[in-house]
Amino acid sequence: MLKPNLHYQELKDSYLFNTIYQKTDAYLAAHPGEKVYKMGVGDVSLPLCPAVIQALHDGVEDQGNPDRFHGYMPERGDLSLREAVAGYYREMGVTRSADEIFISSGACDDLGDLLELFDRDNRVLVTEPAYPEYVDTNLLAGREVLHLAAGEADGFLPAPDPDIQADILYLCSPNNPTGAVYDREGLQAWVDYANRQGAVILFDAAYESFIREPQFPRSIYEIPGADTCAIEICSLSKTAGFTGTRLGYTVVPEALTRMGVSLNAMWARNRETRTNGVSYILQKGAAAVFTPQGREQIRANLRVYQDNADRFIEVLDQAGIWYCGGKNSPYLWMKCPDGMSGWEFFDYLLEKIQVVGIPGEGFGACGKGYFRFSTFGSPEDTREAARRLAELLGKGK
């Protein structure tokens, strides 16, 4: 008889973000006509920029033209798009060849698929609080997951513990959910630790474009030694509003080998088996993100989200509440007032001011008592949510 993957039983009943949607819908069903300010799940509110829209239209036209039509696309992605990504890296002072860049259907997909490069017996270390997919995908594969808790004392930027032996390390900077950002020294410690242990870092750089202060690295490859220990996963979801359009890229350096095996060659082979590439039309749209016009237009959108973050920063500063993030990240991570748990604060905000955020404990046990706001809402909604929050925090519970 077929044996299902019983590791599914180790997962929580519902994925965190679905629980948030369900609770919000239940509130709206019980309060018809009320508006809820959604500062929870990090989904973008601004449309794709005009340069991308034009390129998508052009891609559709090409597909109807016998001379410009494209069938299957290369599994690694179109060469000109990979070269455009390599050019983007050059601006950070990072040299990556097009052969090290793989176009994907989004960071989320690759974060799961990449695990096929590793044996099931590898031990995984997740720095927490963490994006829930890191833990879930490894549990499903039957791997042992170690949790390295962060907290206020380390600014939610944990350093490696030399006593912990692990093979696959997850890092996300700017971090989801805390918005905290590693500086060069902090990342160097992780790179040195990984190289010493022969581990591989899966570096989630989905929020790199939100870094405003140039002293913070946007790519792990800005750190010496990262070539031999890190895979970087990036996405246009937040940078260019592609959450519903889907396109990202993953970098696997040619210098990254384990037991004499090239992980770049393995990943290329994996892509040949697992995908027929990302659609031509989407790759055409994505290429526009890297043109001067596209860059200028997405910068304008990023500024809107950064202004949103500033609204929350003002409120939390004014209320004298501990928080991190916001400055170089679209997420703010605050301490809940009056010793409330994240879920208590969630209910309190929804009930009193109709603002939705995400309870910290959804991102790991050490997130208990903290709360995440996303700044991807519309400026109008964000201003109103921030105003309501300021009033509520000013009153006290």
> Taking CB under 6 A as the criterion, which residues in 55-114 touch ligand MLT?
108
Nearest distance, CB of residue 177 and ligand MLT, angstroms: 6
Q: CA 67 to CA 325: how far, in whole Å? A: 49
Among 38, 42, 166, 172, binds ligand MLT (CB under 6 A): 42
Question: Judged by CB, which is closer to ligand MLT: 236, or 389?
Answer: 236
Question: Judged by CB, which is closer to ligand MLT: 41, or 49?
Answer: 41
Helix (H) or strand (E) run with residue 384 in it: helix 379-395
Nearest distance, CB of residue 41 and ligand MLT, angstroms: 4
Residue nearest to ligand MLT (CB): 42
Q: Residue 50 has which token pair?
A: 């005009």
Looking up tokens 């990556």 gives 96
| Complete edge-to-edge strand list for the sheet that includes strand 323-325 | 323-325, 331-335, 370-374, 358-359
Residue 316 makes contact with ligand MLT by CB under 6 A: no
Nearest distance, CB of residue 202 and ligand MLT, angstroms: 15
Question: Judged by CB, which is closer to ligand MLT: 127, or 176?
Answer: 176
Selected range binding ligand MLT among 41-49, 73-81, 113-121, 260-268, rule: CB under 6 A: 41-49
Q: What are phi and psi of 120, to 5 degrees?
A: -65, -25
DSSP state of 327: S
Question: Judged by CB, which is closer to ligand MLT: 248, or 285?
Answer: 248
Q: CA 150 to CA 304: how far, in whole Å? A: 30
Looking up tokens 């519903």 gives 244
Nearest distance, CB of residue 218 and ligand MLT, angstroms: 18
Nearest distance, CB of residue 238 and ligand MLT, angstroms: 7
Beta-carbon contacts of 210 under 8 Å, excluding residues fewer than 6 positions away, are 174, 238, 302, 305, 306, 328, 329, 330
Question: Judged by CB, which is closer to ligand MLT: 43, or 254?
Answer: 43
Nearest distance, CB of residue 106 and ligand MLT, angstroms: 8
> Taking CB under 6 A as the criterion, which residues in 3-22 touch ligand MLT?
17
Selected range binding ligand MLT among 40-48, 157-165, 188-196, 224-232, rule: CB under 6 A: 40-48
Q: CA 33 to CA 42: how far, in whole Å? A: 24
Nearest distance, CB of residue 261 and ligand MLT, angstroms: 30
Helix (H) or strand (E) run with residue 63 in it: helix 50-63
Looking up tokens 């040949």 gives 272
Question: Judged by CB, which is closer to ligand MLT: 206, or 230?
Answer: 206
Residues 147-174: b if buried by 16+ CB within 10 A, e if exposed: ebebeeeeebbbebeeeeebbbbbbbbb
> Taking CB under 6 A as the criterion, which residues in 142-201 touch ligand MLT?
176
Question: Judged by CB, which is closer to ligand MLT: 204, or 227?
Answer: 204
Question: Judged by CB, which is closer to ligand MLT: 131, or 267?
Answer: 131
Helix (H) or strand (E) run with residue 344 in it: helix 342-353
Question: Judged by CB, which is closer to ligand MLT: 247, or 256?
Answer: 247
Nearest Cα residue to 235 out of 131, 111, 106: 106
Nearest distance, CB of residue 40 and ligand MLT, angstroms: 7
Residue 41 makes contact with ligand MLT by CB under 6 A: yes
Secondary-structure breakdown of the chain: helix, strand, coil percentages, each rounded to the nearest 5: 45, 15, 40
Residue 248 makes contact with ligand MLT by CB under 6 A: no
Q: What are phi and psi of 395, to 5 degrees?
A: -75, -30
DSSP 154-170: GTT-PPP-TT---SEEE
Beta-carbon contacts of 151 under 8 Å, excluding residues fewer than 6 positions away, are 366
Nearest distance, CB of residue 61 and ligand MLT, angstroms: 31
Selected range binding ligand MLT among 36-44, 264-272, 281-289, 310-318, rule: CB under 6 A: 36-44
Question: Judged by CB, which is closer to ligand MLT: 41, or 194?
Answer: 41
> Taking CB under 6 A as the criterion, which residues in 353-392 touch ligand MLT?
374
> Taking CB under 6 A as the criterion, which residues in 223-242 touch ligand MLT?
237
Judged by the rule CB under 6 A, the positions of this chain that interact with ligand MLT are 17, 41-43, 108, 176, 237, 374
